[in-house]
Amino acid sequence: MVEKGPIKFSVKSLKGSGISLEDIEIAIGRLAMEEEWEPMGPTPMPKITTLREWDMKLLKRYRPFYMPFCDLCCLCTYGKCDLTAGKRGACGLDIGAQQGRIVLIACAIGASTHTSHARHLVDHLIEKYGENWPIDLGSDIYVEMPISRLITGIKPKTLGDLSYILKYVEEQIVQTLAAAHTGQEGSYLDFESKSLHLGMLDHLAMEVADVAQIITYNFPKGKPDAPLTEVGMGLADTTKPVILCIGHNVSSGVEIIDFMKKNGLGRPGETIEVLGLCCTAHDLTRYDEQAKIVGPISHQIRFIRSGAADVLILDEQCIHIMVLSEAQRVKTPVIATSDKACHGLPDMTNKPVEEIVDALVSGKYPGVLILDLEKAGAVAVLTALRIAPIRKKFKSLPDKADLKKVAEKCTKCGRCRRNCPIDLPTDEAVFAARQGNFDKLAELYDYCLGCARCESECPRDIPIHSLIVSAAELKIKTERYKIRVGRGPILDTEIREVGSPIVFGEIPGVVAYVGCANYPEGGRDVAIMAEEFLRRRFIVTVSGCSAMSIAMYRTEEGKTLYEEYSGAFDAGGLVNVGSCVANAHIAGAAIKIANIFARRPLRANYEEIADYVLNRVGACGVAWGAMSQKAASIATGFNRLGVPVIVGPQGAKYRRLYLGRREDRESFTVYDARTGDRVWVGPAPEHLVYVAETREEAIVMTAKLCLRPNDTTKGRMIKLTHYVELYKKYYRRLPDDLHMFIRTEADIPITFKGEIMEYLKEVGWEPWEKPVVDPTLLERLIRVKK
Amino acid sequence: MSITPWQLGNVPGPKTALKLTGEVAGKLLKKAKNPLIIVGAEALKVKVGEKLLLDYVIEIAEVAKIPIVATSSTLSAFLERGVEPALSMGAIEITDRLRDPEWSLDGSKPHDIVVYVGITYQLQSQLLSCLKNFAPQIRTLSLDRYYHPNATWSFQNLSEKDWIENLNILMKTLKEEKKKD
């Protein structure tokens, strides 16, 4: 009989020709050596179908809602097959399953990307620090890697353990992706279960990546008072050589800073500016807060064109594919450092540093590939020092005086607008510039995604993105804001403080603003949403591009939210965890609440912990500008753990949501673990993935998705106060589903009592028979079975 | 010549929306057994001549006696005008319910024609795609200025002037048809 996982198993009896064995227990590999820190849970290192039953419980309540982005399938040579409205492809697949399949592929890409990132980091760090380098996150963090413990059953102690965990993730991604091959999986629900599996694996890989870099690079280890640093286009001191790091893997940037220190060039900003763009920027400032953050992905092309950077270092992910040609236009050499993003550059890894620097400074090569990170760091610094006086910040942006002349070519054909991902009225702005009015162009700066797609579509070759940037010159010069350095994990001590108020609802919720910068109406919306919940004393956690966008907004007091609110994981705290991979700490905090506060067994006990989070931890993610496949897998990983996510209108292009129906009572019926009774608990949380049309809708839905069946009376009253206040603020009346959340009169927000009582009378509300239960979806957790 | 989607890359597949005119829209709505209008937040920003799109839609709904679903924060704008929408719900949530062949606002007969108007282009396109693929019993109309290939009928990409003209014809047709009744 195989028991508890793939590696450890026992055999009661084995009989064959000539042999008879009884009670054999065999353990193979890493788990056999694992310290018994807690009894092994039911699902160590789950395979594709191990948690399928849990997924089906979720999918029964939160049904997949598909919005095909394309009605065809073009993945095999039978096709293209038209799958519109129920037609089946040559392989037999229908449009629903095809959507599930595409989402699975997206999640596999996302999970692979984080895993590959983690693998690159871990291998590099093992080479540098040795596989026995200890995992030590300080005395305030005992549960150092909650996701790893929960999924694998391993309590990792060294870098070598992280490598072992990654092997499991890598193997599972391969197994799961294989389901997308023609003639494999056919059920949309099973595709979804596999996507949920990939999302879970993605979180594991992110945790490995971030912990590996925290322990070796000495990033802040959960410091609530991590220092403030700067973000913005206007912060670079261009009188100095400037190195810009783009991507997500900070190793090459670390080598740059280390080389500078070793060679008497001081810290970033002293003799050379070291800037970052995208998540690698967060991690550079975690390494040394004197490094600076240019901004989110939208700032990539515009900053390169400004000519401020003397050297570009590329690592991996979120690199604009035109980066090399853009850099060539401003004579900035490029150094690629990842085997996943070589950009056609010559491999100079084995050449001497001096030779590579000569080749870059002389312009022999516009860029090089260097896969030895230490060497890449040295080349970047030496090249920057030599080339800066030659380049003289050569830029490729038109002067403001030339804007009108450039715009005169515009015929207002509208192709720029009709290819803009967010439908910006670029045609009107360029046409206005033709008449000498640059205000419309400048206004677009705050909304523009910076993809420059408008330019590649313009039949008159007008550099539209450059026009926008030049018109906003003044705005850019003053673009300088404060942001708190990514603090990494949440302390166990913080969890002990807030566990109870979160679970009982007295802290009304934990809201996470995460993900990319594909905002429908600018990054300001994310800051406004965050501010709304900070004022209401929710815990607000942030990461990645969203964390940067939140910084680029000032309150009425003229401060950024990071200057106004503390960095503690507590009511009214604004917690920047760091880069994309640091998202693992947000999921980790939810898991730690179940483990540290509620003392639920953690080890390989995924279902029970996810069940706990779904029913008790009022957390909600908001990925307002989600764009990438990584964002898809991150969100799906949160979903499997029981955390709902709201995406912006652009997120509809992910094709799939998980929606509940409040009127479907059966789907919101749970077990009362104390009695085994089936009890309706109201639609809390109502959805698992939701698209909001506007910022206002997202705000109201966020407050609602923080409701949980386990809320105490006081907690429910507090949460409903926020929900009702926000609903009234934006919709001007009481919510029409309010009666579904009020269990007894004691749940009613005091400030609205009269009005709500009247409403309840109108809808025929009666107090619930069983207002407080011990909610679970898992039959095995019922303590007294009927 | 075929009509191109407003967002040029938004090419869904072989089945694309038929070209809608104001007159056709008027006749379709008049003949519909149980139509529904879903109004999104763009209706608070977009103008039809001097009026807000929202006010124009209210007029259409009143003339044709079609119930309105207000999505997102449009509810407050309706209430300010003294108009009570039949339902206030997220654009996603109402579209989810419309997938069910038996579902309707009042629980009587299912909706046969659903009008989408004033929902941001990318989101509306996806909502229409959902119904095209999973609710064959429903025919959808987009009354926005831009061609939506995922609708059953959509205006082609129109200048503001032509769009207003079509909406005026739609209104006129509704009123004329009403007189004939």
With a cut of 90, say whether residue A161 has pLDDT above it: yes
CATH architecture label of A36-217:
Orthogonal Bundle (1.10)
Q: Is the pLDDT of residue A3 over 90?
A: no
Instruction: Tally Cβ neighbours within 10 Å of residue A156.
Output: 23
3-state secondary structure of A669: strand
Out of A693, A730, A736, the one facing B76 most closely (by C-beta) is: A730
pLDDT one-digit tens code per residue, A592-628? 999 999 999 999 999 999 999 999 999 999 999 999 9
Mutate to test the interface with B, among A418, A664, A726 (most CBs of B within 10 A): A418
pLDDT band (50, 70, 90) for residue A773: confident
Whether B2 is covered by a domain: the verdict is: no
Confidence of residue B102 (pLDDT cuts 50, 70, 90): very high
* Mean pLDDT for the stretch of residues A50-77: 98
Residue B1, pLDDT above cutoff 70? no
Residue A29: predicted pLDDT: 57
Task: Look at residue A5 in the predicted model and tell me its pLDDT.
Answer: 39
Among B92, B121, B159, pick the best mutation site for testing chain A contact (most A Cβ within 10 A): B92
Instruction: Quickly state the pLDDT bin for A785 (edges 50, 70, 90).
Output: low
Residues B140-152, mean pLDDT to the nearest whole number: 98
Residue B5, in any domain of the structure: no
For residue B151, the chain A residues in CB contact (below 8 A) are: none
- pLDDT per residue as tens digits for the range A338-355: 999 999 999 999 999 999
Domain that holds residue B164: 18-180
How far is A660 from A166, CA to CA, in rounded Å? 34
Q: Does residue B99 belong to any structural domain of this protein? A: yes
The whole-angstrom separation of Cα B119 and Cα B145 is 11
CB contact under 8 A, A418 and B6: yes
* Residue from the list A65, A82, A732 with its beta carbon closest to the beta carbon of B13: A82
Q: Which chain A residues are Cβ-neighbours of B44 within 8 angstroms?
A: none
User: Sign of torsion, CA A393 A343 A271 A214?
Assistant: positive
Q: For residues B117-142, give the mean pLDDT.
A: 97
Domain-located, residue B130: yes
For residue A58, pLDDT over 50 is answered with: yes
Classify A440 as helix, strand or coil. Answer: helix
CB contact under 8 A, B129 and A691: no
Q: Which of B72, B88, B123 minimises the CB distance to A696?
A: B72
pLDDT band at A210 (very low <50, low <70, confident <90, very high): very high
Could you check whether the bond before residue A395 is cis, i.e. omega within 30 degrees of 0? no
Residue B133 to residue A84, Cβ atoms within 8 A: yes
Q: Please check whether the two domains, A228-391 and A482-776, share a CATH topology.
A: yes
Structure tokens at B36: 């529904």
Number of domains in chain B: 1
Write out chain A residues lying below 8 Å of B126, CB-based. Answer: 67, 69, 652-653, 655
Residue A4, number of CB atoms within 10 A of its CB:
17
Q: Where are the domains of chain A?
A: 1-33, 36-217, 228-391, 400-477, 482-776
- A353 C-beta neighbours (distance < 10 Å), count: 19
- Could you tell me what percent of chain B has a pLDDT over 70? 97
Residues of A in contact with B130 (CB under 8 A): 65-68
Cβ distance A693 to B91 less than 8 Å, yes or no, reads yes
Amino acid at the residue A190 = D
Give contacts of B119 with chain A, Cβ < 8 Å. Answer: 693
Q: Which of A295, A338, A232 is nearest to A544 (CA)?
A: A295
To the nearest whole angstrom, how far is the Cα of A68 from the nearest Cα of chain B?
6
Percent of chain A past pLDDT 70, that is, above it, reads: 95
d(CA A669, CA A271): 64
Q: Is A23 left (phi over 0), alpha (psi -120 to 50) or beta?
A: left
What pLDDT sits at residue A136?
97
Q: Which of A29-38, A104-113, A354-363, A718-727 has the lowest mean pLDDT?
A: A29-38
- Kindly list the strands in the beta sheet with B18-19, ordered across the sheet, starting from the edge strand earlier in the chain: B18-19, B153-154, B139-142, B113-117, B36-39, B68-70, B87-88
pLDDT digits 0-9 by tens, A415-444: 999 999 999 999 999 999 999 999 999 999
pLDDT tens for each residue of A449-507: 999 999 999 999 999 999 999 999 888 988 999 999 999 999 999 999 999 999 988 89
**Which residues of chain B make contact with A71, given a CB cutoff of 8 A?**
12-15, 129, 132-133
Average pLDDT over residues A653-661: 98
Residue of B nearest to A689 (CA): B92
In tens, the pLDDT along A83-135 reads: 999 999 999 999 999 999 999 999 999 999 999 999 999 999 999 999 999 99
Asked if pLDDT for residue A10 goes beyond 70, the answer is no
pLDDT band at A4 (very low <50, low <70, confident <90, very high): very low
Identify whether the C-beta of residue A605 lies closer than 8 Å to the C-beta of residue A37. no
What is the domain-level CATH number for residue B166? Answer: 3.40.50.1220
Whole-number pLDDT of residue A15: 58
Output the pLDDT for position A6: 43
CATH code, A482-776: 3.40.50.2030
A649:B40 CB<8 A: no
- Contact at CB, A731 and B96, closer than 8 angstroms: no
Task: Measure CA of the first residue to CA of the last residue in chain B; give whole Å.
Answer: 37
Q: Nearest CA of chain B to the CA of A82: how many Å?
A: 7
Q: State how far the Cα of A472 lies from the Cα of A724, in Å rounded to an integer.
A: 40
Q: Is residue B143 part of a domain?
A: yes
Question: Nearest to residue A462, comparing CAs of A504, A433, A493?
Answer: A433
Q: What is the pLDDT of residue A579?
A: 97
Question: CATH fold of A228-391, please?
Answer: Rossmann fold (3.40.50)
Residues of chain A contacting B, Cβ within 8 Å: 65-72, 82-86, 95-96, 415, 418-419, 422-423, 457, 520, 649-650, 652-653, 655, 657, 659, 661, 690-694, 696-697, 701, 730-733, 736
Which residues of B lie inside 8 Å of A (Cβ-Cβ)? Answer: 6-9, 11-15, 40-41, 71-73, 75-76, 79-80, 88, 90-93, 96-97, 99, 119-123, 126-127, 129-130, 132-134, 136
- Predicted pLDDT of residue A26: 52
Question: Span A209-224, mean pLDDT?
Answer: 98
CB-nearest to B88 from A95, A661, A731 is: A731
Question: Is residue B181 over pLDDT 60?
Answer: no
* B13 vs A70, A701, A732: nearest CB: A70
> What confidence tens digit (pLDDT) does each residue in A255-276 have?
999 999 999 999 999 999 999 9
Whether A528 shows a pLDDT value over 90: the answer reads: yes
Confidence of residue A12 (pLDDT cuts 50, 70, 90): low
User: How are beta strands B68-70 and B36-39 bridged, if at all?
Assistant: parallel
Q: CA A335 → CA A114, A186, A368, A588, A696, distances in Å?
A: 22, 44, 5, 35, 43
Note the pLDDT of residue A28: 54
